Structure formats: C-alpha cells, structure tokens
Structure 1
Amino acid sequence: MFMIVIAVAALACSTRARPPAFNYLEDPYAAENESEEVRSAAIKRLLEVFGMEDPPAIHGRMQPPQYMLDLYNTVADVDGVTKDPYLLEGNTVRSFFDKLRSEQVEFRFNLSTVARTEKILTAELHLFKLRPQAALMFNRHHFCQVSVYQLVDTSKGNNTHERKLLSSRLIPVHSTGWEVFTITQAVRSWMVDEGSNLGLHVVVRTLGGSQMDLKLIRFASGRNHHQSKQPMLVLFTDDGRRSAALENTDPDGMDITSSLPQAPMPAPSSRLARSVDHLEEEGVSMPCQRLPLYVDFEEIGWSGWIVSPRGYNAYHCKGSCPFPLGQNMRPTNHATVQSIINALKLIKGIETPCCVADKLFSINLLYFDDDENVVLKQYNDMVAGSCGCH
C-alpha cells in the first residue's frame, strides 16, 4: 500500500512532463517500463529517508546479538515506534564482532562503516566470561583484576607496541556471563586516525598484581565459541539528526513535539476505513482523522536485511476541515482564522484548512549493514501520531 501511495504521488507530480496518454495505450511496454522506473525512484527516495544510498548486501544470514535484540525491545514497541526518545543515547547503536578471532585475549574491530561525521558517545567492549574449569574451581582466589588496554604504536618501525590503559575493575573469579568495559577513548582515537587501530589487549591479574592463570579466568573467543558468546564492541553514536530533533524540548527535558503518549492512540478499524472510502465515493466529506497506512518491508523487498520490525503503521491524515472548526479537530489559531475567512468569503481564493499530521513519532530499525554488523537506528518523524486542521 505504501508503495502505491508513493507511485501515485510521483505519477501525479510528473503529469505535465509526460507525452500524451494515448502513446502508452499504443505501447504497453512503455507503460510497464515507466511503472518500474517509478518504483525504482520511489524505493531510492525511501532509502534516502533511511540515510542509505543502496540497500545493504545480503550475505549468509547471521543471528543478531541478543544484546541488540534486547536493546531494540527496550526502546521500541512491536511496530518499532519509539517508547521514549530519551531511552537511547544518541540515535545509532552498532555491534561489531572481533576480527582477529584469536585464542589470546587480543581483539580488533573494523569500524569502517561508521561515518567520520558521527559523534562518538560511548563505546563498550563486551566479553563473555566462561565458567572456570572444574579442576580449578577451588582456587584460593575469589576476585581478579581485569584491565583492558589499547595497543599503541610508538615504535616507528620495530614492531613493538605500547599499551594504554582504558578500563580496569575487579570481577569474581567464579562468575560467568557478560562483562562490559568502557573503551570510548580508544574508539575516538581510531576514528581520527584509522591506522592507529591496532586492537585491544586484556590482562588478568590477581589482587597481588601477579599474572592470573588463563585456564582459571577465560573469556569466550571468536574462534572456539558460539556466536552468541563472541567478543563484541557496542558503539553508541549520534549522526546529528537527534540533536536537531531535541531542540523542541521544554526545560524539564520532555520532548514537546514527539513524546509518545502513555497509551497508544486507537487506530481506526478496517471497517471504518472502508466506510470512509464509501462515503467519499458518494460525495460525503468525512472530518479530519487519522487512518492506517502500513509500510510492509517484505513487500518492498527489504526483509532480507531488516531484522525488526517487519513493517510499521505510518498512518496518514485524511478528511475535511469545515467551518466551524471544533477543538476535536485540533486546529491552530491560524487554521481557525483561515476557516472563518473562507466561510465569510472575505477574500477570493482562500481554501479551507488542510488535514495534516500535527504530532509525529520516531521509529527504530534493527538491521544488518554491508559488513554484517547489526545496527539499531532511530528515525524521526516517521509516524503520524495525531491529525489536525492546519
């Protein structure tokens, strides 16, 4: 349905530039080619809305990290609509798997898909700590010091690397599960100089400072363990769109223009939508209201790289704004004045106000990029939250 709306709009806007209609009747191939051109142009424009030039290449479908799935479900509802614009830091979160796949505690991540214009907010190293081997369970050490270092090249040619401490803390020796370390400083330096990305090194010591037995403290590696436990870098960034959207914010920090209501606005039923169409066919004008407009990513051909949602209800506004405008039509003062001028016919050519979206919500997209990284991105002004006469 969404593609049909776009196609109709494109066709309407290009009427003057076309040859006479009878040419298309005489040449059905021309009409078919034009239809394909309109579809191609519409999809290209939709990609631009999502900040892409081309859809990401579809490789062998990997399983998205559970962390990214949980994060998506935290910030978005079942249709991808943002629950709260302040739950997410920035508007983009990416997960990167370790490229070294070493058995040692060294890791490297390819950040080439991150635009240099993006603001790096937070970077985290996620490591899955494995349970100690049974023979070593009764070791006298109960805690250990885990330190994450950035490898820095200061050798000028002799292949030796110095280390720069990024994060360090105590963790229980006998614990198992994810451990998270902040490495923002390293990622920011890598974004300034891509060649400085030599990777990370993790050192585990006893509380006395001596080297810990790596058989006792083990982290899952990309080579020997399941994908669900692989070392991962999680990067929170802002591409600048979020900053602009938050300009319309009140002093208490609540987003005035796009805050989500506590309860979702009821969507008109399909029966109501059909009745509206039927009444319009009979020449009866319906008042301004919000109607469904479902965007189906599978129908567009994007289901191969989008993880969630499968589609979303963008809604659209339809109906008339007749005089007098009641408060239920959410009119602006300008619309009220325009309606009065139109009703009194004080000035020729003044139309009635238009039924438009007066509140817009953002949606979240969870998808694979060209490098098979999983990206969570928030897009502003994608859902008509309510309609009014403007």
Structure 2
Amino acid sequence: MGDFPRKTAPSRRPPQYMLDLFNAVADANGTTKTPRLLEGNVVRSFEDKVHGEQTYFYFNVTSVGREEELLKAELRLFKLKERSQHAPHLCRVDLCELLDGSGVRGSLISSKTVPLYTEGWEVFPVTRTVWKWVRNSSSNHGLMIITSIPAGNSLHLSPVRFAKSSSRQDSPYPFLVLFTHDRRRGTPKNSRTSLLTGEGPTPIAAPQAPRSRKVRAVPVLATGRLLPCQKHPLYVDFEQIGWSTWIISPRGYSAYYCKGSCPFPLGQSFKATNHATVQSIVHALKLSKQVGTPCCVPDRLHSINLLYFDNEENVVLKQYDDMVAVSCGCH
C-alpha cells in the first residue's frame, strides 16, 4: 500500500462525515452491515490545501488511479452564520473551476441559493470537474466560490463566510469526497483489493509476540489425533501488529483461521474439492512419496471495511475482500 505509514499520529482528526459513513456501513469489527449503502468500494476525502483564504480551494487528487471508475464527487463546505442583521435572508453561491494559475479566470460549475442566517454543510456536485483532474492533473488549478445578494435588479458581493482549515481540531474544514470503484480488481463480487498492494500506506512488519505469551496447543482428540478441519477464533488487534498509527476504525477484527486434519476418506463435511479428493486417495495408497494430505484452508471469505489515513493524511474508507474466514474445507 505505497510507502510506510507515518510513525506519529496524524496532525488532524478525520471528518465527522467519514466517521459517520463508516459507522453506517460497518459494525465494530468492520464487517459490512449495509451492503448497498456506498457507491463503489472506495471513498476518499481530501483536505483543502489553501489555508486562510475564504474563497479559494485546492484539492490534490493524484492518489486516485486513472483506471478507477469515478462514480461521484462532492465538495462539502460549512457555511458560517451571518452576524449582520441588515442583509437579505438569502444569498447566491456560485462554484467555479479555476482555468489557470492566476486565480482570475473561472468556469461556472454550479449555483445554489442558501439562507444567510443559518449555518451548516452545503454540498456541491463536482463529478465532471474532478474526473477531468484525475485524467490530467495539470488541469487542476482549484475551485473558487463567489457569493452575492440581490440588490434591486443586480447582484452585489455578499459577506457570506465558509469555514476554512485551521489549527483547531474541531474546525469543520472544507473537504472533497470521491466515490470510486477499483476496476483493476474485478467486480464488487470478486474484487481482490490487497492490503499489501494498492495506494494506501504499506503496513509495517508485525512485531514478534511477547515471550510471556504461550503458544496455543494444537487441538487434538482424546486419542491423540488432530481434530478434523474446522474454523477457530482469531482476533487481530491492529495495535499489536503495528497498524494502529494509520487505521482509524476498526481497532481490530475477528479474522478466524482454519486448522485441523483432512483424513482419508474425505466426506461431504470437509467440503473437499475434487482435486483434494484425488490427492487424498493418492496419499492414502502411497502412490507418491511427495504427495501429502490436503490442507485445511478457508473455504469461504468475507470482506471488511477499513477507515484509515493515507500517506497524504487523506481519509479513506475502503472495502478489503477476503479478510474473514467464514468456513473451512480441505483443498
């Protein structure tokens, strides 16, 4: 997943929107509880890189692969409440794409009318514009907001203010949200998004287990033989394996693992493949010294969702397949 993750905590908190989205999609273990809620299998939020300026915004979206399918992009701005009581109740907000680095030339993306005397999030659709930026990063010069109020038959500039990035951890800073699908890894049903390849941080090597911990004994029957192939509990704590510096949620999950024997003859309860059945016969008849018994491995796997910081401190919600062993079989 790209470079190694930062060893220190990120300098900002994730947007509440991304936390709420994770909680709506997944349970405490990251297991998907609302399969069709998200569009695609990756959601990214990008922080505004223009600090202090009220009307200009820039988002670096170069971490999105050109081969990904961009399904939706939204600009989310928090409008502050107007303090003056002498202005009209409504104002017009125009969102423009900057066409060059001068900050003067712009192309209108969308307009909307918003109330002046309330505060809250305003959402602007920017899918076509961001798609162009993903295809050609040099075309990304940022966005500009122009606010105005009606005055007779004309419009005058409005004092409407939007929250901007600041040192305050609780500041509702502006951000861009992208919903994509990683088409490199197939359809949502059989996609294979790897924790070790992809655009996010590369997990660091797992630390060795403390010496005080005792290795679990292999489960055996009273006769001394191994138990038949089956699923066993396994909880993965992300802090213990060194991933807690970049993973926001969950803090860990129940992965389970498969262990046990695949004795001859393999019955239906072992969920054996045809190849495993033949291999079992060859081993039992000692037709080849190099052929062992089939292995007990996951027969069915489920995905989980991870909410994490990438190397640019963008917050990503991503579905990772084949993370939970649901059942075991002899293969």
Q: For structure 1, which runs of at least 5 residues remain unmatched after alignment?
A: 1-50, 249-272
Partner residue in 1 for 2:236? 295
Distance 2:120 2:294 in 1: 59
2:17 to 39, 62, 67: 67
Q: Greater Rg, structure 1 or structure 2?
A: 1
By how many angstroms is 1:174 displaced? Answer: 3.4
By how many angstroms is 1:167 displaced? Answer: 2.3
- Quickly say closer, same or farther: Cα 1:165–1:242, change in 2 above 3 A: farther
Q: For structure 2, which runs of at least 5 residues remain unmatched after alignment?
A: 192-214
- The alignment status of 1:122 with 2:63, answered yes or no, reads no
Partner residue in 1 for 2:310? 369
Give the structure, 1 or 2, with the largest relative contact order (CA under 8 Å, sep 6 or more). 2
By how many angstroms is 1:120 displaced? Answer: 2.8
Paired letter, 1:163:
G
Distance 2:153 2:189 in 1: 47
Paired letter, 1:127:
L
By how many angstroms is 1:338 displaced? Answer: 6.0
Distance 2:169 2:158 in 1: 19
- Quickly say closer, same or farther: Cα 1:89–1:168, change in 2 above 3 A: same
Partner residue in 1 for 2:225? 284
Paired letter, 2:104:
H
Partner residue in 1 for 2:182? 239
- Quickly say closer, same or farther: Cα 1:223–1:53, change in 2 above 3 A: closer
By how many angstroms is 1:88 displaced? Answer: 2.7
By how many angstroms is 1:291 displaced? Answer: 0.9
Distance 1:57 1:117 in 2: 30
- The alignment status of 1:388 with 2:329, answered yes or no, reads yes
Q: Note the aligned Cα RMSD (angstroms).
A: 3.4
Distance 1:182 1:311 in 2: 34
> Percent identity at matched positions?
51
- The alignment status of 1:202 with 2:149, answered yes or no, reads no
- The alignment status of 1:166 with 2:70, answered yes or no, reads no
TM-score of the superposed pair, with normalisation by structure 2: 0.77
By how many angstroms is 1:103 displaced? Answer: 3.7
By how many angstroms is 1:149 displaced? Answer: 0.9
By how many angstroms is 1:218 displaced? Answer: 2.6
By how many angstroms is 1:368 displaced? Answer: 1.7
Q: Which residues in structure 2 correspond to 1:144-183 (within 5 Å)?
A: 144-153=91-100, 159=102, 161-183=104-126
Partner residue in 1 for 2:44? 94
Distance 2:169 2:82 in 1: 17
Deviation track 1:80-124 (CA, whole Å, cap 9, x = no partner) reads 223355433233222222111234322112234334444333221
- Could you say what secondary structure the match of 1:180 adopts? strand
Distance 1:278 1:105 in 2: 65
Paired letter, 1:356:
V
Paired letter, 1:359:
R
- Quickly say closer, same or farther: Cα 1:83–1:337, change in 2 above 3 A: farther
Paired letter, 1:221:
K
Query: Which structure has greater strand proportion?
Result: 2
- Could you say what secondary structure the match of 2:171 adopts? helix
Higher deviation after alignment, 328-337 or 192-201 = 328-337
By how many angstroms is 1:320 displaced? Answer: 2.3
Partner residue in 1 for 2:155? 211
Query: Which structure has greater helix proportion?
Result: 1
Distance 2:279 2:167 in 1: 70
Distance 2:167 2:247 in 1: 28
Kept after mapping to 2: 8 A contact 1:103/1:223: no
Q: How many residues align?
A: 306
TM-score of the superposed pair, with normalisation by structure 1: 0.67
- Quickly say closer, same or farther: Cα 1:188–1:200, change in 2 above 3 A: same
By how many angstroms is 1:213 displaced? Answer: 5.4
Kept after mapping to 1: 8 A contact 2:41/2:188: no
Distance 1:239 1:56 in 2: 24
Kept after mapping to 1: 8 A contact 2:72/2:180: yes
- Quickly say closer, same or farther: Cα 1:160–1:74, change in 2 above 3 A: closer
- Quickly say closer, same or farther: Cα 1:290–1:209, change in 2 above 3 A: farther
- Quickly say closer, same or farther: Cα 1:125–1:290, change in 2 above 3 A: same
